[in-house]
Amino acid sequence: MDPHLRVDHDQLGRFSRALGESLTSLAEARRALEHVRADQLGTPELDEACDGFQDRWKYGAEQLGVRIKAVHEGVRLSHQGYVQLDHAIASAFRAVGRRD
């Protein structure tokens, strides 16, 4: 196992943006389904099944959104922290180099 920690800032930033975009997509999908009414689809059995799905989908999508938001925030903060750390290390090396 490699004892050194390596973080690809660009990839971490892309991952953070992808998580943010997934939150937007999930919200858009939820909004689109809010306008679909089960009684517009057909038979009473299908309507009932669709109502059940709509309730489960809404709850599941809300829970998924909460979890994605938490992961997104953690990744975003990690990305910021690694970028700041790299800048601080580079500044420290420059400062040491000027003293020699």
12 in any annotated domain: no
Give per-residue pLDDT as tens, 43-89: 777 777 777 877 788 888 889 999 999 999 999 999 999 999 999 99
Residue 7 lies in a domain: no
Q: For residue 1, is it within any domain?
A: no
pTM over cut 0.75 = no
What backbone torsions phi and psi does residue 42 show, to the nearest 5 degrees? 155, -125
Give the chain's domain count: 1
User: Cα–Cα distance between 80 and 66 in angstroms, integer?
Assistant: 21
Domain assignment present for residue 68? The answer is: yes
Phi, psi at 13, each rounded to 5°: -65, -40
Q: Is 74 contained in some domain?
A: yes
| C-alpha angle 86-87-93 in degrees, rounded to nearest 5 | 90
The verdict on residue 10 lying in a domain is no
Q: By residue range, what is the domain housing residue 21?
A: 17-99
Q: Give the whole-angstrom CA distance, residue 26 versus residue 99.
A: 54
Note whether residue 55 is domain-resident.
yes
